[in-house]
Amino acid sequence: MKRLAVLQKPPRKDQASSDQGSMVVEAALVLPMFMFFIIFLIYIVQMTLISTALQSTVSDTVKTVAAHMYPVSLAVQGNSVGGGAGESGSPSTSHWEIPKLSLADWVSNYNDSLPSPVNEWIVQAVASGEEPLQQLKNQTVEAVLDPVVKPMLKPFMPDRLLDYDRIHVSNVHIPNLKSGESPYFGIEVNYALPIRVPFLNKRIVLQAKAQERLWIGDTGEGGADSGNGDGSETSGGIELLEKPNPAVASKQAKVKVKVEPGTSAQLSVYYKSGQSTAKYLGWETADENGYIEWEWNVGFNTTPGTWLFVVETADGQRMEVPFTVVARSG
The DSSP line for 139-191 is: HHHHS-SHHHHHHHHGGG--TTT--GGGEEEEEEE---TTT--S-EEEEEEEE
Domain termination residue (choose one: 162, 189, 213): 213
270 and 322 in contact (C-beta within 8 Å)? no
**Residue 206 sits in the same domain as residue 94:** yes
More confident residue, 159 or 57: 57
Q: In what order do the strands lie in the sheet with 167-173?
A: 167-173, 184-192, 205-213
Regarding whether 57 and 121 lie in a shared domain, the answer is yes
Same domain flag for 136 and 259: no
Question: Do 250 and 209 sit in the same domain of this protein?
Answer: no
309 vs 115, 304, 312, 313, 325, CA distance in Å? Answer: 30, 15, 10, 13, 12
Same domain, 99 and 67: yes
User: Does 199 share its domain with 273?
Assistant: no
Q: Is the pLDDT of residue 178 over 70?
A: no
Q: What percent of the chain has pLDDT over 70?
A: 59
Provide the pLDDT for residue 248: 85
116, with CB counted inside 10 A (0-12, 13-18, 19+), is exposed
Task: Among 156, 187, 213, give the residue marking a domain's end.
Answer: 213
Three-state secondary structure call for residue 227: strand
d(CA 57, CA 208) in angstroms, rounded, equals 9
In a domain, residue 15? The reply is: no
The region of weakest confidence among 16-20, 53-57, 223-227 is: 223-227
Higher per-residue confidence, 226 vs 273? 273
Q: Are strands 226-227 and 238-242 parallel, antiparallel or unpaired?
A: unpaired
User: What's the pLDDT score for residue 3?
Assistant: 53
**Same domain, residue pair 231 and 307:** yes
Contact 240, 321 (CB under 8 A): yes
CA distances from 288 to 237, 259, 285, 314 (A): 16, 10, 10, 17
Distance CA 157, CA 121 (A): 22
- Residues 149 and 282 placed together within one structural domain of the fold: no
What's the total number of domains in the chain? Answer: 2
Asked whether the whole model's pTM tops 0.85, one would answer no
Residue 89: is its pLDDT beyond 80?
Answer: no
Is there a single domain that holds both residue 230 and residue 205? Answer: no
Domain limit, last residue, from 188, 213, 238 = 213
Residues 188, 230, single domain; the answer is: no
Spatial CA neighbour of 148 closest among 133, 131, 127 = 133
CATH no. for residue 308? 2.60.40.1930
- Containing domain of residue 234, as a range? 226-326
- Asked if the structure places residue 140 within a domain, the reply is yes
Q: Which helix (H) or strand (E) holds 19?
A: helix 13-67
Asked whether residue 261 is domain-assigned, the answer is yes
247 shares a domain with 195: no
| 48 pLDDT higher than 60 | yes
Q: Would you place residue 308 in the very low, low, confident or very high pLDDT band (cuts 50, 70, 90)?
A: confident
Residue 220 lies in a domain: no
- 55 lies in a domain? yes
**Do 304 and 176 belong to one domain?**
no
Residue 99: its pLDDT value, please? Answer: 39
Q: What are phi and psi of 23, to 5 degrees?
A: -65, -35
CA–CA distances in Å: residue 185 to residues 220, 294, 322: 17, 25, 18
DSSP 35: H
Identify the three-state secondary structure at position 293: strand
pLDDT of res. 262: 86
